[in-house]
Amino acid sequence: MTGAKQRLLGMTPAQLKEAVTALGMPAFTARQLAEWVYVKRASTIDEMTNISKQNRQRLAESYEVGIRQLIDNQHSKDGTIKYLFPVETQQIAAAQQPADNCRFVETVYIPDGERATLCVSCQVGCKMNCLFCQTGKQGWEGDLTVADILNQIYALPECDQLTNIVFMGQGEPMDNLDAVLRATEVLTADWGCAWSPKRITVSSVGVKNKLRRFLDESPCHVAISMHSPIPEQRRQLMPAEQAMSITEVVELLKQYDFTHQRRCSFEYICFGGLNDQPLHAREIVKLLQGLECRINLIRFHEIPGVDLPASDEKRMEALRDYLTRHGVFTTIRASRGQDIFAACGLLSTAKKNQITK
């Protein structure tokens, strides 16, 4: 990745128009470019045959489509596939570091009957440092560009089979909000993928001001990492609780309408004897009273150096049943890809990034 040419992938029609007019091309060329990049999914400018050869050559001097092919994949026995993509973070791109200092992110493809979900990353590593998350142990190495967020989708071999996208991979989406909003705009716009926002879920631990902005500017689903309804305990698990408490997050969510197509959900990793007790069930019901939402209970997948116990199946089922009886629709999420470290909380490219340094 030389960084010498700008990538068309990730650009809006307005940006494309600015680019082509600066090169002396007709303004309508921008619409043609958008169709080639986002609808027809061209991989090179030379494929754009309704643009004159002269203009294609002119474009190719400064621009490229910008698709980066995956460089590794791992297949789970349950059908989950974890892909490794090279990325050029915004910070690295700004410094114009050489190609051998590129970074990597992991992306997880999860087929399930007629559904096929892609778990995409938005950062290399993460600043949030949640106790139970391997990505947080990696630390933060940079934000992904819009192009590299979208590249995880457009360069995916199963791109045509996707039914849903979740921003639950590496990184905190609200910490790279501008790029995430642009990526979801491309995915949902008529000139882009024209997906329904109902097919996209964006997760967050809760980042003050950023979460409100996302709720105001995006029609996509939101998923909040709760993991404990008790602020003091959540702070021990998630340092982000100190900056924006779970009570603040819920109060903010209550200002928005989730009674129609847009959905609000909470992610809840269950730790045996720690956050899966009757007390926690009662506090969850109390906390979420008046908010239309659902909870996804998630099995804890052990990570090195973290002494946290996993809940057993019986305890998780008891928690699910209590919450459902008290009006909080709750499911236990099936664990996928654990054998290839693709399950929730296991993504990390720390070692791969170090290889290039």
The catalytic residues are 106, 344
CB neighbour list of residue 47: distance below 8 Å, 6 or more residues apart: 36, 40
Sign of CA dihedral 230, 235, 237, 241: positive
**Quick one: which of 96, 92, 152, 155 has its CA closest to 122?**
152
CA distances from 24 to 4, 47, 54 (A): 21, 20, 11
142 contacts 103 by C-beta, under 8 angstroms: yes
CB–CB of 126/79 below 8 Å? no
CB 353 within 8 A of CB 124: yes
End-to-end Cα, the chain, rounded Å: 15
Half-sphere exposure of 129 (CA within 13 A, CB side): 9
